[in-house]
Structure 1
Amino acid sequence: MSDRLVSDPGGNLLTLCAAVGAIVAAFAYFDPASGINGTPGALLVIASSIAICLAGLVVVAAALHRGPLHATLVVLLLLGILGTALAAAMLHSTLLLAMMGLCLLGWLAHLFTRKGGRPAAAAEGAAR
């Protein structure tokens, strides 16, 4: 398990930033000074951030390496990140928007690296 965590820094970044995003959204939901406290949009962002975090954990921890289930989960992660970022922008939550930007970077890093943390092109070249 620890080998998988080390070998997928993009997935780890995605999962960590989604968890921090959920905490930021929860704080904004309960803080009366945030301006978005108690709104359904903030509650939706909490739920979507938790869903992104859980999907990131599945991608990192499970043996879903480059199969159809992995591809489906990666596409759904992208849609979740972009949707949550749009909601964060509409809620004027810059910290949450920054976390979703980092999630997107982690998603890209996960997408373009293979097991072992090497870029896909370098891994193919080393196999020859």
Structure 2
Amino acid sequence: MSSPLSSKSGAIVLLIASLAGLAVALYAYFTPLTGVTGTLGALVAIVACFILAVMALLLMQVKARGASITLRVLILLGLAGTFFAAMLLHQWWICVAMVVGLIGLILDLFRPAHYARPTHT
């Protein structure tokens, strides 16, 4: 049997990466002379990282197979979109955080399944 912490390790890595991306995006948005201070792009990166963090928390709690698949697809789209936005903003540390988040998502794909499976007789 695996411990509850090890079965959620991918979602935890994703959460930490999202929060790190959020911190970097907040720094870039509010600190003068970062090149993106007060821009809409940096604000979008802040919102996207926050949403990714919320979805990582939801991924830890979800038990249904369909819900976890849907969340994983949405997280993958969010990671890709935030990575692309960070590249356009030249915020390389956000790009690194999104790659770490992708690693967390991949780890989450291999967590043990606890889904109710129908029995065929």
What residue in structure 1 maps to residue 31 of structure 2? Answer: 31
What residue in structure 2 maps to residue 89 of structure 1? Answer: 87
Equivalent residue in structure 2 for 1:68, among 50, 66, 69: 66
CA offsets 1:37-57 (integer angstroms, 9 cap, x no match)? 000000000000000001001
Gaps of 5+ in 2: 115-121
CA distance in 1, matches of 2:102, 2:33: 28
Structure-1-length-normalised TM-score: 0.82
How many residue pairs are counted as aligned between the two chains? 112
Gaps of 5+ in 1: 117-128
Provide the identity percentage: 33
What residue in structure 1 maps to residue 46 of structure 2? Answer: 46
Which runs of at least 4 in structure 1 moved beyond 2 Å after TM superposition? 3-7
Q: CA RMSD in A?
A: 1.6
Three-state SS of the structure 1 residue aligned to 2:63 is coil
Cα offset for 1:9?
1.1
